[in-house]
């Protein structure tokens, strides 16, 4: 697994479910270049246990992302039909009904592989037959992509470990602050708090006040 930070986000076109109900073809993140920040996250599988807590948490905070000029897009190795079924299943029955942001179908696993989050790899057995070693699903990868299509933040959790949506929002705030003011954001920085200039003097000034 290699980092994508500082590199162009891998391009793809795939089936997706948008608005919780509409299946579309050739969905791509390229449509947001020059327009929006993108939080693109992977989760292992539909109809599982930790995954709905994450997807519903992103939905709950969707207005916070929207007011930061940011779109949220999910992805797993399930088909668009599995996504559609899960999106139309009530929460009390283990579904995620009410989620409106796009969910991409990566049935081929190529998108997960290109983003470096596939929890396994293809290999050959002793008979020369192609086999998959590991889990043919995605780790809990998350990528913050700027308006130029460049990955600026990357997080990859193992399968049992859910992510913090609030931390994702903090990263969006930090990127926006840097782009607007040219100041870098220290440890545990929050929007509205002091940042600092990227110089010895800037660091010294910040530390003297804290």
Closest CA to 175 of 5, 8, 59: 5
**Which is it for strands 70-76 and 37-42: parallel, antiparallel or unpaired?**
parallel
Question: What angle, rounded to 10 degrees, do the helices at 165-181 and 50-60 form?
Answer: 40
Closest CA to 6 of 187, 144, 177: 144
The model's pTM: 0.92
- Which of 72-81, 109-118, 183-192 is the least confident region? 183-192
pLDDT top residue among 164 and 121:
164
Residues serving a catalytic function are 51
Q: Is the pLDDT of residue 201 over 80?
A: no
* Cβ–Cβ < 8 Å for 113, 107: no
**Hey, is 178 helix, strand or coil?**
helix
> What residues does 74 pair with on adjacent strands?
41, 103
Q: What is the pLDDT of residue 209?
A: 60
Write the DSSP assignment of 76-98 as a string of letters: ESS-HHHHHHHHTS-GGGT--TT
Query: pLDDT digits over 18-76, tens only?
Result: 999 999 999 999 999 999 999 999 999 999 988 899 999 999 999 999 999 999 999 99
Query: pLDDT digits over 155-164, tens only?
Result: 999 999 999 9
Of the chain, the percentage scoring pLDDT greater than 70 comes to: 93
Full set of structural domains in the chain with CATH: 14-162 (3.40.30.10), 164-210 (no CATH)
Q: Which DSSP helix (H) or strand (E) runs through 23?
A: strand 22-27
Q: What is the pLDDT of residue 163?
A: 94
Query: pLDDT digits over 130-157, tens only?
Result: 887 888 999 999 999 999 999 999 999 9
Q: What is the pLDDT of residue 206?
A: 46
* Cβ–Cβ < 8 Å for 66, 105: no
């Amino acid at each position: 697994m290699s980092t994508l930070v500082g590199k162009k986000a891998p391009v793809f076109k795939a089936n997706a479910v948008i608005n919780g109900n509409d299946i579309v073809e050739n969905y791509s993140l390229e449509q947001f270049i020059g327009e929006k920040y993108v939080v693109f996250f992977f989760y292992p599988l539909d109809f599982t246990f930790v995954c709905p807590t994450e997807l519903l948490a992103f939905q709950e905070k969707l207005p916070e992302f929207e007011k930061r000029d940011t779109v949220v897009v999910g992805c797993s190795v399930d088909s668009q039909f599995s996504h559609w079924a899960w999106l139309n299943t009530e929460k009390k029955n283990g579904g995620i009904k009410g989620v409106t942001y796009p969910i991409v179908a990566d049935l081929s696993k190529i998108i997960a592989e290109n983003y470096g989050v596939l929890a396994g790899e293809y290999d050959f057995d002793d008979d020369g037959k192609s086999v998959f070693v590991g889990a043919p699903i995605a780790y809990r990868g998350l990528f913050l992509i700027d308006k130029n299509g460049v990955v600026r933040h990357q997080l990859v959790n193992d399968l049992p470990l859910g992510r913090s949506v609030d931390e994702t929002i903090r990263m969006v705030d930090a990127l926006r602050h840097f782009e607007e003011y040219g100041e870098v954001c220290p440890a545990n920085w929050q929007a509205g708090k002091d940042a600092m200039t990227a110089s010895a003097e800037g660091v010294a000034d910040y530390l003297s006040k804290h």
